Amino acid sequence: MRQLLLLRHAQAEPAHAGGVDHDRPLTPRGRAEALEAGRCIAAAELRCQALFVSPAVRTRETADIVAATLQLDRPPHFEPSFYLGDADALLAPLAALSGRIATLLLIAHNPGISELAQRFWRTAPPLELRTAGLCLVSFVAGTTWAELQPKRVQGIRLLR
């Protein structure tokens, strides 16, 4: 069974005049949120074989904290198309993943990450991931990473 964990980055510093959005770090609250997200994944007994992350500072910091909490032994893959990418941009790089990967953690930004969660959620009210919001999507047996479609969803739940 394929499992996709969708995590919105934790709370970041606000944008400053003349500052670069890509370089915004986490706030102290954001670091605590990222730690809590990691603990939620651990409590659900999910084993991530891969971690795909937007290269922005706030997503990288979120990934570092979560990976340390989970004691992941593989380094994250930083995917440039995830930076402010829409749902399709978030899914596209996953199609080439190895079949040996059962559970993938994807860390990205709104609105794209919530759009992707909503694509699989398919019910009202719309799903909007808060900062460090975490959603687990499970797909029916035999689903490949190239086949992640709503009709192949076995279950979906908000973990945080």
Given a cut of 80, whether residue 18 has pLDDT beyond it is no
Cα–Cα distance, 26 to 14 (Å, whole number) = 9
What is the rounded CA–CA span in Å between residue 95 and residue 146? 4
Domain residue ranges in the chain: 3-12+23-158
Kindly indicate the confidence band of residue 66, based on its pLDDT and cuts at 50, 70 and 90: very high
Please state the pTM of the whole predicted model.
0.94
The candidate with the shortest Cα–Cα distance to 121, out of 87, 92, 150, is 150
Find out whether 3 and 142 touch, Cβ atoms under 8 Å. no
* CATH code linked to domain 3-12+23-158: 3.40.50.1240
Confidence of residue 11 (pLDDT cuts 50, 70, 90): very high
Interval 105-140: pLDDT, tens:
999 999 999 999 999 987 767 888 999 999 999 999
Q: Could you tell me which residues are beta bridge partners of residue 122?
A: none
> If you ran DSSP here, which 8-state letter would residue 126 be given?
P
pLDDT tens readout for residues 84-110: 899 999 999 999 998 899 999 999 999
- pLDDT given at position 136: 97
